Amino acid sequence: MAEPRNHGPSRHTSSPVLTWPEGSRIAFVAMAAALVAWRPPALAAHLRWIGWASILAGGFPIFAEAAENLRARRMTMELSMTLALVCAAAIGEFFTALVITLFVLVAEALEGLTVDRGRHALAELLQVLPQTVRVRRGAGEERVGLDQVRIGDLVLVNPGGRLPVDGRVEAGHSFVDAAAITGEPVPVERQAGDWVHAGSINQTGSLDVRAERIGPDTTFGRIVAAVEQAEQTRAPIQKLADRLAGYLVYFALACAAATWLVTGNLRSTISVVIVAGACGIAAGTPLAVLGGIGRCARLGIIIKGGVYLEALGRIDTVVLDKTGTLTFGFPEVVAIEPESGHTPEAVLGCAAMAERRSEHPLGGAILRQAGVLGLAVEEPAQFQALPGQGVRALGAVGQVLVGNRTHFQAHGIAFNHPQQAGHPSATEILVALDGQPMGRVWVADRARGEARAAIQALQAMGVHTLLLTGDAAPAAAALGGELGIGGVEAGLLPEQKQERIADLRKRGRRVAMVGDGINDAPALMEAEVGIAMGSGADVTREAADVVLLGDDLMKLVEALRVARRMRKVIRQNFAGTLAVDGIGVGLAAFGWLNPLLAAFIHVASELAFILNATRLLPPHSKNNQ
């Protein structure tokens, strides 16, 4: 039972094992119990003395903790067990007292091991950065520890290695897999001038990277910090568990007092104290939360706190943004319709100038198409983005306006064409030059491969789905139909998205919002749980409570499943502890449980609840780089 756990092939991080003092203490108490049970005639006269000594020596950590809890005025399992132990020994039941000591020691060691295992699983996940790094400083090349790399160092990365810093490539050419950081699913080509992220995998060639952000300032470092923080903040359910555990110990003591008053039987009284204690709640809950967060992290879902995992388990409505969330956010220009007097190239050229500084995926589509057609794109002298509407820019050609109809109405420019001529699922982008309509560009984006399956899975779980988008109704409705989404609302400005979510929450819905863009950040904050796509804007990832690395919507479904399982496990443990305590106390009060049996029931049920919680721990990873 108390063997070190086997943690498979991890060589770089030390696996949790039973510590020396723990192991020898357990062995010592077991031998003392055997000796007391055997009652060798030669020692018969000294048994009382031997019993007390071994209880004090073996149970020392329990007593120490009990004393600390007493000082802090906290009612805990250690306190009640100490009381029970001392009482058992006082009436001469040394064997019982020693076995109880043994059980408590074993249970605590096992609990420690399982919690360590949870921590270990998280740590392992996060320790993927290389520990030594090759840098070129001045003329020479040296190998230094990761913590000795400084901003401005030129870091040399071989193919197959993880990048240790955020920075810009100075030399070399390679494909880099950044799925774990930004969520971009396919490796991207990187060469001089390109930005690379710590934690991504350098695949094909070697790269020389100028370090610009190191350690905790890298994107990877921030993810690590978020997970570590998550581990430390206590979810409300944990606080509830602690409080409940405290009450149950009081309950046990009250029942014991009543038993003593009514029956006057000291053994029954001790049994009552021993059988109750409620550690299943207190022990299982942090482990379940830790396990849930760890399991999610392993799946590429960063949960920024137990609170959010708990909230996620209660979500009944998922609101999704369209561009970049349900679609790839890599739209393509499918048609250009100039007004008379303009060429398609002129329309695209003006639009590209205006979008040059834009971060919006639609702007990206226009710039890519301008690149394909070989147009030289001028740098705008002035640029302004209006989230949910479009952009305005001033260039050598004049004042250019690009965006949707709301944007144009706000600027008093009228377009006479009906909205959806010929391109039902594409988004219409209007372009105007110096207040005059110039033409429109149609841009279409493909739905993510897994989007339909994810929506269906959510609905099968009884979760409402709703698409809120700033895009025009025809394109939104087309996508909504294709994916089978529960509801579609189009033409919304960012603050209207936020209002809709506030409204849903007011009507009692528990809402999670998934988005990727800067314009989604207010809505993410408004939702009970804000979820950002990994490849989304930095602000959005910061504003979110949950980040889906790898951009896979199925992971959203997975996260909901893990969260629900966590809540279920914790509820099972709550109910189980209450049942065991209630029934156990009843039996003990009537004298049907002797102290030994009571101790066994207590410890066995506690272990069962801990094991129940370990089911949530992530499986051991096989591909440790």
Chain positions contacting ligand ADP, by CB under 6 A: 321-324, 355, 358, 360, 362-363, 388-391, 402-404, 427, 429, 469-471, 517, 519
- Which residues between 362 and 421 bind Mg ion (CB under 5 A)? none
Tell me the closest approach of the beta carbon of residue 176 to Mg ion, in angstroms.
25
Token pair in block for residue 389? 């509407």
> Which of Mg ion, ligand ADP, none does residue 437 bind to, with CB < 5 to 8 Å depending on kind?
none
Among 321, 355, 581, 606, binds Mg ion (CB under 5 A): 321
Asked if 470 interacts with Mg ion (CB under 5 A), we say no
Q: Assign 360 to helix, strand or coil.
A: coil
Q: Per this entry, what is the length of the chain?
A: 625
Pick between residue 497 and residue 567 the one whose CB is nearest to Mg ion: 497
Token pair in block for residue 62? 């329990």
Tell me the closest approach of the beta carbon of residue 331 to Mg ion, in angstroms.
11
Tell me the closest approach of the beta carbon of residue 134 to ligand ADP, in angstroms.
41
Tell me the closest approach of the beta carbon of residue 323 to Mg ion, in angstroms.
4
In angstroms, the CA 99 to CA 109 distance is 15
How far is residue 51 from each of residues 104, 383, 397, measured CA to CA in Å?
17, 83, 96
Token pair in block for residue 197? 């992220």
450 HSE (CA, 13 A, CB side): 14
Pick between residue 153 and residue 321 the one whose CB is nearest to ligand ADP: 321
Pick from 541, 547, 532, 499: nearest CA to 325: 532
DSSP string, 14-28: PPP---HHHHHHHHH
Pick from 406, 428, 423, 414: nearest CA to 492: 406
Candidates 22-30, 85-93, 146-154, 318-326; binding stretch for Mg ion (CB under 5 A): 318-326
Q: What is the 3-state secondary structure of 241-264?
A: HHHHHHHHHHHHHHHHHHHHHHHC
> Which of Mg ion, ligand ADP, none does residue 111 bind to, with CB < 5 to 8 Å depending on kind?
none
Candidates 9-17, 195-203, 509-517, 610-618; binding stretch for Mg ion (CB under 5 A): 509-517
Go through 210-239 and write b for each residue having 16 or more CB atoms within 10 A of its CB, e for each that does not: ebebbbeebbbbbbbebbeebbeebbebbe
Tell me the closest approach of the beta carbon of residue 464 to ligand ADP, in angstroms.
19
* Residue 154 β-bridge partners: 136, 210
Q: Which of 166, 208, 321, 581 is catalytic?
A: 321
Candidates 4-12, 35-43, 473-481, 514-522; binding stretch for Mg ion (CB under 5 A): 514-522
Pick between residue 118 and residue 517 the one whose CB is nearest to ligand ADP: 517
> Which of ligand ADP, Mg ion, none does residue 83 bind to, with CB < 5 to 8 Å depending on kind?
none
Phi-psi region of 385 (alpha: psi -120 to 50; beta: other; left: phi over 0): beta
Pick between residue 533 and residue 598 the one whose CB is nearest to ligand ADP: 533
In angstroms, the CA 485 to CA 453 distance is 11
| Residue 348 near residue 366, CB atoms below 8 Å | yes
Pick between residue 272 and residue 354 the one whose CB is nearest to ligand ADP: 354
Pick between residue 166 and residue 321 the one whose CB is nearest to Mg ion: 321
Q: Both ends of the chain: CA-CA distance in Å?
A: 32
Asked if 445 interacts with Mg ion (CB under 5 A), we say no
Pick between residue 271 and residue 323 the one whose CB is nearest to Mg ion: 323
* Residue 196 β-bridge partners: 167
In angstroms, the CA 582 to CA 251 distance is 10
Among 58, 363, 517, 522, binds Mg ion (CB under 5 A): 517
Asked if 471 interacts with Mg ion (CB under 5 A), we say no
**Residue 116 annotated in active site:** no
Tell me the closest approach of the beta carbon of residue 361 to Mg ion, in angstroms.
7
Tell me the closest approach of the beta carbon of residue 435 to ligand ADP, in angstroms.
17
> Which of ligand ADP, Mg ion, none does residue 403 bind to, with CB < 5 to 8 Å depending on kind?
ligand ADP
Residues involved in catalysis: 321
Task: Name the residues that contact Mg ion, by CB under 5 A.
Answer: 321, 323-324, 516-517
